C-alpha cells in the first residue's frame, strides 16, 4: 500500500516507519509543526515534549537515513483553534481538559490524516501503542489496546471519528516498548534511546500558570473551603487544581488531610474534603463518539483517566449524554477528562466527563 506516516522524531514513529518499509509499503513521512520554533527556544524545557525544533531535526534525519521523502506540515492554526484555545477556555471553566485526546481527534487523526489521504495515500500510520484489528463481534475494524499495557495509548484515541479506523495502521501495537527500542537499535536508527515525551507540547516548562500568563490571564489567589463553607486555606489560582489533588495549596487549619473535591470558578474558590468524598459511584459524560454500534444500555469497563484503573460499569446512552454507574466507587472522576469505554481490550469509544456522581 501507499502509506503516509506521522513522523514525530521519536523512536516510536521512527520504528513504525521502518516496519512499514520492511513490509514493502510505499511510504512517505509527514512531520507536524504545532508551534513556531522560537517558542521552544524561549521556554525552559523541564521535561521532554514533542514538536520541538530538535524533533524536527531528528525526523528529517530519520527520513534521510531510511530513504523516504518527508514533508513538514504546518498545523499551527488548526492546533491553536482545536487544542490550545479549548484548553484555555476549559481551564477557566474549572475543568481539567485533555489536550492530547483533542489533538488526536482534530489534528493528528483529523487535519493531518485528511491532508495525507487527499494526496492519494491508502492509509495513515503512527507510532501509537494500539492495534487495529477486524472484530467478528462488531463486524468491522476496531481499535484494541496495545500488547504493552504499560504503554497502551488507546485511551487517547477514544474520540477519533470511527470511519478513520478503516484507514489507520499502528505497526507498534504488537510490540513492547523495549522491543521497539531494540528494533531501532538493530536498524541503526539514531533515536533508539531517545527520551520519551512526557508533557503537554505547548507547555514545555510544565507550568499552567506560565501558559495562562502568556495568554494574557493572571491567576488570583482565593479561598479553600470545605463543602460546609468553612475557610481552611488559600489556593494560588483555581485552574491549577484538579479533582483528587492534595498538594499545591496552603492549608491554615490542620489536623485533616484535604483533597480537592471541586472548584467554583465564578467565586474563585477551591472546595476540599476528606478522601472518601473524592470517590464517585458514577458520572455523566457528553458528546460521545462510538467506534461501534452500542445499545441504549450495556455493561463494559470504563477508564476515567489515562492512568486510572478500569472500572466495571453499566452505561446508559441517551441522545448526546452518557450515564455511567460503577460497580465500585472510582477515585477522582474529573470534569473535562475523557471517559473511555472498553469491551475487553476493544475500545468502544469515549465521551467528555461532565460531572461525577457521588
Boundaries of domain holding 34: 2-127+171-187
Helices (H), the chain: 11-22, 37-42, 53-66, 76-79, 85-92, 99-103, 113-117, 177-187, 208-214
Per-residue confidence (pLDDT) for residue 45, from 0 to 100:
65
- For every residue of 165-195, DSSP letters joined together read GGGEE-GGGGS-HHHHHHHHHHHT-TTTTPP
Question: Is 292 in the same domain as 261?
Answer: no
Is the per-residue pLDDT at 43 higher than 90? Answer: no
Q: Is 103 a catalytic residue?
A: yes
Residue pair 2/20 in contact (Cβ under 8 Å)? The answer is no
Q: What is the pLDDT of residues 329-340, one digit of tens each?
A: 999 999 999 999
DSSP-based three-state secondary structure for 229: coil
pTM of the full structure: 0.93
Q: Does residue 197 fall inside a structural domain? A: no
Cβ neighbours for 288, distance < 8 A, ≥ 6 positions apart: 317, 320, 321, 322, 349, 350, 351
User: 179 and 45 in one domain?
Assistant: yes
Q: Is residue 161 part of a domain?
A: no
Q: Measure CA 263 to chain center.
A: 23
Task: State whether 29 and 121 are in the same domain.
Answer: yes
Residues 6+ away with beta carbon under 8 Å from 183: 15, 18, 19, 175
Domain finish residue from 274, 295, 313: 274
Query: Residue range 218-226: average pLDDT?
Result: 95
Identify the residue whose cell numbers are 522560537: 38
Closest-CA residue to 261 (of 237, 238, 284): 238
**Sign of CA pseudo-dihedral 11, 129, 100, 45:** negative
The reply to whether 316 falls in a domain is yes
Query: Residues annotated in the binding site for ATP, as ranges?
Result: 6-13, 32, 127
Name the catalytic one among 50, 201, 300, 302: 201
Output the nine-digit C-alpha cell for 356.
Answer: 461525577
Same domain, 243 and 344: no
Indicate the residue among 256, 274, 292 that finishes a domain: 274
278 has a pLDDT exceeding 70 = yes
List the catalytic residue out of 100, 103, 300, 302.
103
Catalytic residue flag (residue 201): yes
Query: Do residues 176 and 151 touch, judged by C-beta distance below 8 A?
Result: yes
Residue that terminates a domain, selected from 255, 274, 293: 274
Q: How many domains is the chain partitioned into structurally?
A: 3
- Per-residue pLDDT tens over the stretch 27-36: 999 999 998 8
Answer yes or no: do 223 and 122 share one domain. Answer: no
The chain-wide mean pLDDT, for the chain, equals 94
289 and 250 in a common domain:
no
**Do 311 and 260 fall into the same domain?**
no
Rounded CA separation 74/80 (Å): 12
Instruction: Count Cβ atoms below 10 Å from residue 174 Cβ, excluding itself.
Output: 14
Same structural domain, 264 and 290:
no
356: pLDDT strictly greater than 80: yes
Kindly tell me the sign of the dihedral angle through the C-alpha atoms of 65, 69, 72, 75.
Answer: negative
Q: Is residue 35 part of a domain?
A: yes
Place of cell 474558590: 269
The span from the CA of 212 to the CA of 203, in Å, is 10
Sheet containing 123-125, strands listed edge to edge, beginning at the edge strand earlier in sequence: 70-74, 26-33, 2-6, 123-125, 168-169
Query: Do residues 175 and 249 both lie within one domain?
Result: no
Residues 24 and 108 in one domain: yes
Give yes or no for residue 48 having a pLDDT over 70.
no
Annotated binding residues, as ranges? Answer: 6-13, 32, 127
Residues 238 and 330 in one domain: no
Per-residue model confidence (pLDDT) at position 39: 79
CATH of the domain at 260: 2.30.30.280
Residues across the chain: 358
Q: What is the pLDDT of residues 251-268, one digit of tens each?
A: 887 778 899 999 999 999
pLDDT value of residue 38: 80
Amino acid at each position: 500500500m501507499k502509506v503516509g506516516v506521522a513522523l514525530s522524531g521519536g523512536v516510536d514513529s521512527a520504528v513504525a516507519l521502518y516496519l512499514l518499509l520492511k513490509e514493502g509499503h510505499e511510504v512517505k513521512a509527514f512531520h507536524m509543526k504545532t508551534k513556531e520554533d522560537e517558542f521552544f527556544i524561549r521556554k525552559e524545557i523541564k521535561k521532554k515534549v514533542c514538536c520541538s525544533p530538535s524533533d524536527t531535526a531528528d525526523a528529517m534525519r530519520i527520513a534521510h537515513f531510511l530513504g523516504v521523502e518527508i514533508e513538514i506540515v504546518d498545523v499551527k492554526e488548526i492546533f491553536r483553534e482545536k487544542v490550545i484555545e479549548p484548553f484555555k477556555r476549559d481551564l477557566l471553566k474549572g475543568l481539567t481538559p485533555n489536550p492530547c485526546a483533542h489533538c488526536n481527534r482534530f489534528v493528528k487523526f483529523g487535519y493531518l490524516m485528511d491532508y495525507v489521504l487527499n494526496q492519494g495515500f491508502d492509509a495513515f500510520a503512527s507510532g501509537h501503542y494500539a492495534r487495529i484489528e477486524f472484530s467478528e463481534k462488531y463486524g468491522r475494524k476496531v481499535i484494541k489496546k496495545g500488547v504493552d499495557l504499560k504503554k497502551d495509548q488507546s485511551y487517547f484515541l477514544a474520540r477519533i471519528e470511527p470511519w478513520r479506523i478503516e484507514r489507520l495502521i499502528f505497526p507498534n501495537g504488537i510490540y513492547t516498548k523495549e522491543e521497539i527500542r531494540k528494533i531501532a537499535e538493530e536498524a541503526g536508527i539514531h533515536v533508539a534511546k531517545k527520551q520519551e515525551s512526557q508533557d503537554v507540547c505547548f507547555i514545555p516548562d510544565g507550568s499552567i500558570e506560565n501558559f495562562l500568563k502568556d495568554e494574557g490571564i493572571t491567576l488570583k489567589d482565593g479561598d479553600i473551603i470545605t463543602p460546609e463553607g468553612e475557610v481552611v486555606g488559600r489556593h494560588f489560582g483555581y485552574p491549577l487544581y484538579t479533582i483528587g489533588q492534595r498538594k499545591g495549596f496552603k492549608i491554615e487549619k490542620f489536623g485533616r488531610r484535604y483533597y480537592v473535591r471541586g472548584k467554583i470558578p465564578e467565586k474563585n474558590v477551591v472546595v476540599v474534603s476528606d478522601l472518601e468524598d473524592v470517590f464517585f459511584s458514577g458520572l455523566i459524560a457528553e458528546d460521545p463518539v462510538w467506534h461501534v454500534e452500542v445499545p441504549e444500555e450495556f455493561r463494559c469497563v470504563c477508564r476515567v483517566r489515562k492512568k486510572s484503573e478500569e472500572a466495571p460499569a453499566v452505561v446508559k446512552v441517551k441522545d448526546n449524554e452518557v450515564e455511567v454507574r460503577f460497580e465500585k466507587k472510582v477515585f477522582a472522576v474529573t470534569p473535562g477528562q475523557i471517559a473511555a469505554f472498553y469491551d475487553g481490550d476493544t475500545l468502544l469509544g469515549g465521551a467528555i466527563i461532565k460531572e461525577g456522581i457521588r
